[in-house]
A and B are shown apart, each in its own frame.
Chain A
Amino acid sequence: MSPIESADVVVVGAGIVGAACAEALSADGRRVMVLDRGAPAGATTASGEGNVLLSDKAPGPELDLALASRRRWPELLDTLRDELGERLADVEWESKGGLVVAVNPDSVSPLRILTAAQREAGVEVRDLGQAAACAMEPHLTTGVTAAAHYPGDAQVQPVLAATAMLAAVRARGGLVHGGVEAEGLVVRGGRVAGIRVGGTAVPCGAIVNACGPWAGHFSVAAGAPIEVLPRRGMVLVTAPLPAVVGRKVYAADYVAAVSSGDVDLQVSPVVESTATGAVLIGSSRQRVGFDETLEVEVLRRLARSAIRLFPVLAGVPVMRAYGGFRPYTPDHLPVIGEDPRIPGLWHAGGHEGAGVGLAPATGRMLADLMEGRRPEVDPGPFRVARPALMAEVRT
């Protein structure tokens, strides 16, 4: 890296959220530099299933952000297509819809209560019975007791999406560097004046902590700790298959697993096809730090839960399993905003498993706040100074 570089904003972390922040900031005309200690789009983003979901969110600030992000995604892809051309902008976007299914009688009424509330909050959702659900997904178990169809749920390939946004940043004059570790901030007069990288300081006016599950680590190095923890997930990948699963299909208890804070293993089936024909089977949630060790028990429970939804999958080969770490915040809300302790230090992260879906709205909100514009969605709930994130606020 050339030592003479400087930037208006340095984004630390070239995952989907960092890429979306850099895209939004560069669209505002700022000179952006994106740094990643590893390969851009190479960590949590490369492990993501590409969820752009409304269905798994109960009414509240996260759903508001998700609705804004869902509206933003197609606009963003149009922009990328205009600036970069079809090929680079092809990020396997599929507005395929989601199907949430209940497989026991007890889950029916909680599902109906959830869909009623979501409808109230502006989500398009249709309640379905067993026959309609099975007509929609012919391989679905006939043991479905109730279902809900969300036409707005979508899927995107996260590595393609992140690398396309980073390509747009470069095309607008920004810089993206992989294999560069940000060591800390340069603070002058109480505010950010630069970032320390490879023994030198790069002058900049603002720094965005978009380190995903490592955001907590970076915040400590930056001198402004926030509480972001890794929550491990595993995904099974089948051999390429003909069309088996049309939508994003998951069990109704997934919503509860997402919002739980349990340290113990939670497994709730999420099944979907990818562009190559391989079916992805999630999802597990475990708070085990950054431990990557394979646990057969987790894989077994994923397999069982997927077969329960789609019995035909019992006979198909599993060719791969991979793991990743989601950035978890204790109150399950992302953090988007400036750190009151060090002006010029911004955080964008903590989206847990929803980072891909929420990335465009997160980038937009960050850029709005930095520019002094009023964000489309109320940024208050995502502020840095909240008890769940900052130990100082707690006391």
Chain B
Amino acid sequence: MNRVVVVGAGPAGLAAASAAAELGVEVVLVDAGAKLGGQYFRQDALARGDRFALPLAVEHVANASVWAVEPVEGGHRVHVRIGEADDPSRTGRVLETRALVLATGAYDRAVPFPGWDLPGVFTAGAAQAMAKGQGVAVGDRVLVAGTGPFLLPVAVALAAAGARVVEVAEANAPVAGWLSRPRGAAAGTRRFPELARYAGMLARHRVPYRTRTAVVAAHGSDSVAAATVARLAKDWTPVPGSERRVEVDAVAVGFGFTPQLELAVAARCRIEGGFVAVDATQGTSVPGVFAAGELTGIGGAELAASEGAVAGAAAAKRLGAVVEPPLGAMARVRSGRRFAAALAAAYPVRPGWTGWVRDDTVVCRCEEVPLGRLLEAVDERDLWGVRPLKLASGAGLGMCQGRVCGANVAELVGLDDGVFARRRIAAPLRLGELAGAASTAEEAGGSPASRADQSFGQDLG
């Protein structure tokens, strides 16, 4: 119990782990990746070594999937599987803590359009992860589309990996033009100095950056062969007659981000407006649980790191460390949030996207539920809640458990998407792993009897 457990080793988690360790407490940093950095600081997986150095007091548990957080007397129990992704032979570990820092980040939102289920349509995050982490461009000719400043580094990463980026289609037209005129406007902000750099690089590569433009269809039989882009009205309704066909073999889409809320929900943290509600010390509504980074609002790496530093200090304080309030980091959090609010206002997902979706467009990719079937279920069965909606339509019932479709389905039918984030099993594990999982830290602590217990799954031949 007397340790800080940090989940997630992106900008927020790294800062939290470092801050807590520097205050003299023991820290365990759990992360799904093989290397530190998360999505934002993604490292080249093929290069040797790790470019992040952590204080010695931090134990980094890599390749670790947190599948459950269980509230227990005086704190929380964090259930982890460690080993190769989705492999039945992973080992279990149970961490008990009085100070849990959740820094689980966010993932790209993709809104559906006809053809978005074809191979060759990726999220912007996938294109970036493949380029930066694996050195692979997802296509030869790539259309980058969606909304938000994140599209720029994705386009740059694609170009660096050898792809021809045919166009960046930004669905919004940010006021004050702080990206529509990339070179000048982005230079005006200190917040994302790298954006100016990205904008400059795109200009040098002669990549057109078009605002009020979106991909409204992808074409191909078994893989993307072309896409249709259209000009948009302010509410994102496509302007009739403005459609253009572009010859591409890949489309990378990103419409902002969805926070990975399941662990926070499992810990019973209050969620407000789709994000974890936190106080000035990054404390959630649950004593002993802190949240930092994109979980509390989408604001980029710098804000995430500031929040992480505050959360790490607060978590250390909870364990008895003598802590001066991290006033500098707290001030950076406050100004960062103002910037994040401006960002959110400049790049919202506007309602017109629902007009791109046809009755036969799959909205739930896992269960292959088309829009028509979803709406039929809602209308004919008069569904009022997310649980009946899932069970009656199939949407959100598949392997991703509504991670991809939840926000879209909720918006299409006018329900609150919060229920989709309720995932008691936060990451899938094999039934044999669950059968053999230790349920308490003591049990996992390694008496011979409990080790035998952990191999239960193999005993059953």
Instruction: Using CB atoms and an 8 Å cutoff, list the residues of chain A in contact with chain B.
Output: 38-42, 46, 87-88, 157-160, 163-164, 166-167, 170, 176, 178-179, 236, 238-240, 276, 278, 281, 293-297, 299-300, 303-304, 306-308, 311, 313-323
Asked whether B388 lies within 8 Å of A41 as measured between CB atoms, the reply is yes
- Give the residue of B77, B86, B268, B385 whose beta carbon is less than 8 angstroms from that of A39: B385
Inter-subunit contact A319/B388 (CB<8 Å): no
**B88 CB to nearest A CB, Å:** 6
**Chain A: minimal CB distance from B277 (Å):** 20
With A296-B68, A314-B460, A318-B429 known as contacts, the answer to whether A307 contacts B383 (CB < 8 A) is no
- B41 interfacial by beta-carbon distance below 8 Å: no
Q: In chain A, what residue has the closest Cβ to B68?
A: A296
Is B44 an interface position by the 8 A CB rule?
A: no
A322 B388 Cβ-Cβ under 8 A:
no
A293 and B424 alpha carbons, distance in the complex (Å): 9
Q: List, in ascending order, chain B residues with CB within 8 A of A314's CB.
A: 88, 430-432, 435, 457, 460
B367 at the A interface (CB under 8 A): yes
Q: Are A318 and B383 in contact (CB under 8 A)?
A: no
Contacts A87-B380, A176-B382, A322-B424 known; list 18 others, CB within 8 Å.
A39-B386, A39-B387, A41-B392, A167-B381, A236-B434, A276-B394, A276-B398, A294-B424, A296-B437, A299-B68, A307-B460, A313-B431, A317-B86, A318-B429, A318-B430, A318-B431, A320-B401, A321-B424
Chain B contact residue count (CB 8 A cutoff): 43
- Whether B399 pairs with A319 at a CB distance below 8 angstroms is yes
> Contact partner of A170 among B382, B431, B460, CB < 8 A?
B382
Q: Which residue from chain B places its CB closest to the CB of A159 in the assembled complex?
A: B391
Contact yes or no, A307 B431, CB < 8 A: yes
**Smallest distance from the beta carbon of B212 to chain A beta carbons, Å?**
38
**B423 CB-CB contact with A under 8 Å:** yes
Residue of A nearest to B392 (CB): A159
A236 to B439, CA, bound (A): 16
> Which residues in B have some Cβ–Cβ distance to A below 8 Å?
68, 70-71, 77, 79, 86, 88, 266, 268, 367, 376, 380-388, 391-392, 394, 397-399, 401, 423-425, 428-432, 434-435, 437, 439, 456-457, 460-461
Q: Which of B77, B268, B376, B431 contacts A316 (CB 8 A)?
A: B431
Complex Cα gap A207–B428 (Å): 44
Query: Which residues of the other chain, B, contact A313 by a CB distance below 8 angstroms?
Result: 431-432
Contact assessment for B429 and A317 in the assembled complex, using a CB-CB cutoff below 8 Å: yes
**CB-defined A-B contacts under 8 Å, sample of 13:** A40-B385, A46-B388, A158-B391, A163-B383, A178-B384, A276-B394, A293-B71, A293-B268, A294-B68, A300-B434, A307-B431, A307-B432, A314-B460
Given the complex, which residues of B lie within 8 Å of A163, measured CB to CB? Answer: 381-383, 388, 392
State whether B388 touches A306 (Cβ < 8 A): no
Question: Once the chains bind, are B385 and A296 in contact (CB under 8 Å)?
Answer: no
Residues in A neighbouring B86, C-beta threshold 8 A = 317
Contacts of B437 in A (CB 8 A): 296, 300
The chain B residue with its CB closest to the CB of A311 is B460
By the criterion CB–CB under 8 Å, are B387 and A46 in contact?
A: yes
Determine how close the nearest CB of chain B comes to the CB of A233; give it in whole angstroms.
13
Check B428–A317 contact: CB distance below 8 A: yes
Please pick, from A158, A176, A320, the residue contacting B424 in the complex, using a CB distance under 8 A.
Answer: A320
B380 contacts across to A, CB distance below 8 A: 87-88, 167
A31 CB to nearest chain B CB (Å): 18
Chain A residues closer than 8 Å to B424, beta-carbon distance: 294, 320-323
For the complex of A and B, list the 9 residue pairs with the smallest distance between their C-beta atoms, beginning with the closest.
Answer: A39-B385, A314-B432, A178-B384, A163-B381, A39-B384, A159-B391, A303-B435, A42-B385, A303-B434
When chains A and B are docked, how far (Å) is the Cα of A320 from the Cα of B262? 12
Closest to A177 in B: B384
Q: Which residue of chain A is the closest to B400 with respect to CB atoms?
A: A319
Across the interface, do A240 and B398 meet the contact criterion of CB distance under 8 Å? yes
Min CB distance A144 to B, Å, is: 15
Given the complex of chains A and B, what is the CA–CA distance between A39 and B386 in angstroms?
8
Q: Which B residues lie within 8 Å of A281 (CB)?
A: 431
Q: B428 near A319 (CB under 8 angstroms)? A: yes
CB-defined contacts of A304 to chain B, threshold 8 Å: 435, 456
* Least CB distance, B271 to chain A, in whole angstroms: 15
Query: How far, in angstroms, from A299 to B385 measured CA to CA in the complex?
Result: 26
Contact (Cβ within 8 A) B392 A160: yes
* Chain A residue nearest to B381 in the complex (CB): A163
- B428→A296 contact, CB < 8 A: no
Determine the distance from Cα of A284 to Cα of B432 in the docked complex, in whole angstroms: 18
A160-B391, A239-B428 known; A276-B382 Cβ under 8 A: no
Closest residue of chain A to B461, judged by CB?
A311
Please state if B385 and A318 are interface contacts (CB–CB under 8 Å): no
Q: Which residues of A contact B431 (CB under 8 A)?
A: 236, 238, 281, 303, 306-307, 313-318
In whole angstroms, how far apart are the Cα atoms of A87 and B372 in the complex?
13
Q: How far is the CA of A178 from the CA of B388 in the complex (A)?
A: 12
Neighbouring B residues of A293 by C-beta, 8 Å: 70-71, 268
**Nearest-Cβ distance from residue B163 to partner chain A, whole angstroms:** 33
Cβ of B70: which chain A residues have Cβ within 8 Å of it?
293-296
Contact A166 B382 (CB under 8 A): yes
